């Protein structure tokens, strides 16, 4: 399945969109050596990216694919992760401008590795930064 819009960073990480509909999303990532920490486990930043994208995609799937930006997220790590990881995102609530979601990352054995909750803002266009 293709993402509704091209996200270069997500593409570079190798995050695959498996499903996205009705406020739910599922992503998959096979952790590469360059995504590991010094202990040869998935780096926390990779896990947080997977959680962030799963939540954002769940929010997008309920609003016709409208873009979202992350306002905040809280992440809890339960155990180290490696190998093929699956992230499942769920939209909990949305308003006209905001979405509230959660996501969980599971390892290949189905063990919960990390979980996050987040707040997202729907945007109609890509925001410009100063200097653009």
35: CATH:
3.10.129.10
Q: Is 130 inside a domain boundary? A: no
Q: Is 99 inside a domain boundary? A: yes
Alpha-carbon distance values, 37 to 23, 45, 46, 80 (Å): 32, 10, 10, 11
Alpha-helix residue ranges (DSSP H) falling in the chain: 8-13, 44-61
Q: How confident is the model at residue 99 (pLDDT cuts 50, 70, 90)?
A: very high
Question: What strand order describes the sheet that includes 24-30?
Answer: 16-21, 24-30, 84-94, 98-106, 112-123, 67-77
Q: Is 1 inside a domain boundary? A: no
pTM of the full structure: 0.92
pLDDT of residue 74: 98
Q: What domain range is 20 assigned to?
A: 8-123
Provide Rg for the chain, Cα atoms.
14
pLDDT of residue 130: 58
pLDDT of residue 34: 97
Q: Is 3 inside a domain boundary? A: no
Q: How confident is the model at residue 5 (pLDDT cuts 50, 70, 90)?
A: confident
Over 90: is that where the pLDDT of 2 sits? no
Q: Is 132 inside a domain boundary? A: no
Q: Is 111 inside a domain boundary? A: yes
Location of structure tokens 């769940």 = 58
Q: Is 2 inside a domain boundary? A: no
Find, among 123, 60, 120, 115, the residue nearest to 88 by Cα: 115
pLDDT of residue 61: 93
Give the number of domains in the chain: 1
């Amino acid at each position: 399945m293709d993402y509704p819009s091209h996200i270069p960073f997500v593409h570079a990480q190798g995050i695959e969109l498996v499903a996205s509909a009705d406020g739910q999303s599922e992503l998959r990532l096979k952790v590469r050596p360059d995504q590991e920490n010094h202990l040869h486990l998935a780096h926390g930043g990779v896990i947080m990216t997977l959680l962030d994208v799963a939540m954002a995609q769940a929010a997008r799937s309920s609003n016709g694919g409208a873009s979202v930006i992350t306002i905040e997220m809280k992440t809890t790590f339960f155990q180290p992760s490696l190998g093929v990881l699956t992230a499942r995102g769920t939209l909990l609530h949305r308003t006209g401008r905001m979405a509230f979601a959660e996501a969980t990352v599971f390892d290949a054995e189905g063990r919960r590795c990390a979980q996050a909750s987040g707040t997202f803002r729907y945007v109609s266009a890509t925001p410009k930064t100063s200097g653009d």
